[in-house]
A and B are shown apart, each in its own frame.
Chain A
Amino acid sequence: MPVLRWIRRNLIVIAGLLTLAYMILPNVVVMVFSFNKPNGRFNYSWQRFSLDAWKDPCGVADMCGSLSLSLQIAVWATVGATVLGTMISFALVRYRFRARGAINSLIFLPMAMPEVVMAASLLTLFLNMGAQLGFWTILIAHIMFCLSFVVTAVKARVMSMDPRLEEAARDLYAGPVQTFLRVTLPIAAPGIAAGALLAFALSFDDFIITNFNAGSTVTFPMFVWGSAQRGTPVQINVIGTAMFIIAVMVVVVGQLIANRRKNSAR
């Protein structure tokens, strides 16, 4: 049987592609159902084609408000976590000092803990301090859990950097600031960018920690959560599809820029 032989030879490829299909299936469903015109409040079964939701993506009360709140929090959390995380990474890779092991575990632990544990314990702190739950408590929480991921991403890049490049800069009479800005930072940039992107995605998408520490403030994931009980507007699928398309475009444009740079360098 040639077909069976072909299947056997390409078993890994077939299995891999099936997994890929499993991963993309929900995105396809989200995209298709953004063109649905549901009968009742819930958008779970296909009724008929309509462009209504795309024409009026912000037509649902409070949805776009929660979206813009999530974006703001994600931007500030990214800035905070990236700055703090980059500083930590440089200290850990470039310097030998006491308490290094303890600091390494302090950074590893938030990644090795179920989110709900961190969420609940942070809430006990805020309750004990009498803090007003809202924008600031969400931001504090997001910076906290993004920090470790940024450190991991930046550390990997800084570790692979050749310190001789900075020595060379100093030999050529560049000051410490100049060396940092013109040599160190550009080389570390891809790692920092990867960390920042990760922080943005984690913060924007976080539900569990936000749910505990938001009080009555509603971020986009919380809006989606609430809508699962009240009835999901089609517009949620529009936003989901738009996010997917924007992400793919960002990656593709980034690839093109990287390719062009590589070609012009040659």
Chain B
Amino acid sequence: MTVTKEAPPAPVTAELKVRKASTRKRLVPYWLLLPGILWLLVFFALPLVYQASTSVQTGSLEKGFEVTWHFQTYWDALTDYYPQFIRSLLYAGTATILCLLLGYPLAYLIAFKAGRWRNVVLVLVIAPFFTSFLIRTLAWKTILADGGAVVDVLNTLHVLDVTSWLGWTESNRVLATPMAVVCGLTYNFLPFMILPLYTSLERIDGRLHEAAGDLYATPATTFRKVTFPLSMPGVVSGTLLTFIPASGDYVNAELLGSTDTKMVGSVIQTQFLRVLDYPTAAALSFILMAVVLIMVTVYIRRSGTEDLV
């Protein structure tokens, strides 16, 4: 009797224990996520909400700002600063294309041709990163200096005549012109292009190249029909990683450019930190964000790599 009376509770507690453990187990991912996601919500998402509200406020620093749903700020910001906007997108776009053209051969070299030098070249790609990018950007001032070696060579080859005619440089000088800014941007974001390109090229099975060759494809055809399409994920993420930060950058424009090459980042910085016109600054950065997000979405759709994100 005692045995049968004592026996039943055992499975019940065991089941309870199992159920408790499974609830605890189900909660594990949420506990893991909580601190990090909270951080992003409070310090990334919430600030965007605050900025949205700032952009429709009016007032001044002395009297305080108030939400008045003043959407006019957006229109004013656009009409006042559209040259800087267009310039930012133009410079960032040009730098991205140059990064792709310059970065592809190097990524290809590391992935297929470097052999036992592969790690050495990779280190040479990444190591410059560790010298502060501001110091490296300042070094371009020395390289592109008026009367320096680079300018002299470009002058003797009459390259500067052509670029000046196009409005990229001024006769006899590169520094403080659009070309210097684009050169700095390209340099700065090149590693962000090379690394994703390298990763996607490295995954390509070398036997595919052999197969293409066996089927009488010339190297150029092999590249066009096999290598390049297979490297598309790298091309897409590389161009995004280059274009997005470049469009908001103002360091290159400030250090290597002039007042005629100001990008929208400079304007936001000046409005926010010097003029203290918070609504205009907030509206400007919202427009920039919207433009970039729209362009990125369209680009990802069109390139057909939605699963990438």
**A residues bordering B, Cβ < 8 Å?**
12-13, 15-17, 19-20, 22-27, 29-30, 33, 44-45, 84-85, 87-88, 90-91, 94-95, 97, 103, 106-110, 112-118, 120-125, 127-128, 140-141, 143-144, 147, 151, 201, 204-205, 207-208, 211-212, 220-221, 224-225, 228, 232, 236-237, 239-241, 243-244, 246-248, 251-252, 255
Contact of B244 among A113, A237, A244 (CB under 8 A): A113
Interface size class of B (residues with CB under 8 A): 35 or more
Selected from A44, A113, A141, the residue in CB contact (under 8 A) with B292 is A113
Q: A95-B28, A118-B47 are in contact. List 17 more A-B contacts (CB 8 A).
A: A16-B105, A20-B125, A22-B187, A29-B142, A44-B142, A44-B145, A84-B35, A91-B30, A109-B44, A114-B244, A114-B245, A114-B249, A144-B43, A207-B251, A220-B132, A225-B251, A241-B131
Task: For the complex of A and B, list the 8 residue pairs with the smallest distance between their C-beta atoms, beginning with the closest.
Answer: A114-B248, A16-B109, A247-B130, A95-B29, A84-B36, A15-B105, A121-B47, A26-B139
Shortest beta-carbon distance from B37 to chain A in Å: 6
**Contact between B289 and A246 (Cβ–Cβ < 8 Å)?**
no
List which B113-130 residues lie within 8 A (CB) of chain A.
Answer: 113, 119, 121, 123-130
For window 173-191 of B, CB contacts with A under 8 Å fall at 187, 190-191
Q: List 17 A-B contacts (CB under 8 A).
A: A12-B109, A19-B103, A30-B136, A44-B141, A97-B30, A106-B41, A112-B244, A114-B289, A116-B285, A116-B288, A118-B47, A121-B51, A121-B282, A125-B50, A143-B43, A208-B251, A244-B127
- Shortest CB-to-CB span from A261 to chain B, Å, is 15
Interface flag for B273 (CB, 8 Å): yes
In the complex, whether B268 has a CB less than 8 A from a CB of chain A is yes
The smallest C-beta distance from B255 to any residue of chain A, in angstroms, reads: 6
Contact call A122/B113, Cβ cutoff below 8 A: no
A33 CB to nearest B CB, Å: 7
A243 touching B130 in the complex, CB below 8 Å, given contacts A19-B105, A125-B43:
yes
A144 to B289, CA, bound (A): 18
**Main SS of chain A's interface residues?**
helix
Q: Which residues from A are CB-within-8-Å of B240?
A: 112
Q: Answer whether A17 and B136 are a contact pair too, CB < 8 Å, given A120-B272, A244-B131.
A: no
B250 touches A208 (CB 8 A): yes
Give B125-183 interface residues, CB cut-off 8 Å to A. Answer: 125-143, 145
Instruction: Let me know if B106 is at the binding interface, CB within 8 A.
Output: yes
Q: Which residue of A lies closest to B190 (CB)?
A: A23
Segment 81-129 of B: residues with Cβ below 8 Å from A: 102-103, 105-110, 113, 119, 121, 123-129
Nearest-neighbor residue (CB-CB) of B300 within chain A: A112
* A100 vs chain B, min Cβ distance (A): 9
Using an 8 Å CB-CB cutoff, how does the interface string of B233-246 with A read, 1 for contact, 0 for none?
00000001000110
Q: Mark interface residues in B23-58 (1 if CB within 8 Å of A CB, else 0).
A: 000101110110111011101111110110010000
Give Cα distance in the complex from A113 to B228, angstroms.
27
Contacts of A220 in B (CB 8 A): 132
Q: Is the CB of B36 within 8 A of A88?
A: yes
In Å, the complex CA distance between A236 and B126 comes to 20
A116 touches B128 (CB 8 A): no
B195 CB → nearest A CB, Å: 11
Looking at the complex, which one of B26, B39, B129, B282 makes contact with A84 (CB distance below 8 Å)?
Answer: B39
B247 at the interface (CB under 8 A from A): yes
B250 touches A255 (CB 8 A): no
When each residue 270-299 of chain B gets 1 if its CB lies under 8 Å from chain A and 0 otherwise, what string results?
001100001001100110110011001000
